[in-house]
Amino acid sequence: MVRVPTALGPVDIELFDTAAPATVANYLSYVRSGAYNNTFFHRSIRNFVVQGGGYTWTDGAGGQPVKVPAAPPVVNEFSAARSNLRGTVAMAKLGGDPNSATSEWFVNLADNAANLDNQNGGFTVFGRASSCPRSRAA
């Protein structure tokens, strides 16, 4: 379990470490290294996803976001048994490269299985968000 603090309240993420061990290890490496400190959700699409893990704010960047340094990509561990349903947490990746997930992850705000389970090798679900705050934008 990982707790992600947000301006709208904490989001607890139950990690599926047995089902997606490489993906969970990748995510936890960013958590434990502090790479996710001061990150923010940089993409929010109503009834689709909120995405974070890609950018941080630092005092020395002149008020500009700074890309989170990426570790080597993790192998895609998509499984239809862990579908991209509302509340699940999955890794973002580059188009056309199923094995390109690094630091960016997203929370599914709707049932996105028909779309995200069937493109680019499927998007690896590695957790489930609970205690999610509700916002007017989501």
CATH number assigned to the domain comprising residue 50: 2.40.100.10
Mean pLDDT of 12-32: 98
pLDDT range class, residue 119, cuts 50, 70, 90: very high
Question: Residue 78 belongs to what domain range?
Answer: 2-130
Q: How far is CA 8 from CA 4, 5, 57, 129, 131, in A?
A: 11, 8, 18, 14, 11
Instruction: Give a yes or no: residue 136 inside a domain.
Output: no
DSSP 53-108: SSEEE-GGGTT-EEEPPPPPPBPP---TTS---TTEEEE---TT-TT-B-S-EEEE
Instruction: Give a yes or no: residue 69 inside a domain.
Output: yes
Instruction: Determine the pLDDT at residue 92.
Output: 98
Distance between CA atoms of residues 105 and 101, nearest Å = 8
Instruction: Determine the pLDDT at residue 135.
Output: 46
In the chain, what percentage of residues exceed pLDDT 90? 83
Q: What are phi and psi of 28, to 5 degrees?
A: -65, -30
Instruction: Give a yes or no: residue 138 inside a domain.
Output: no
Convert the pLDDT of each residue in 58-107 to its tens digit: 776 677 899 999 999 999 999 999 999 999 999 999 999 999 999 999 99
Instruction: Give a yes or no: residue 126 inside a domain.
Output: yes
Question: How many structural domains compose the chain?
Answer: 1
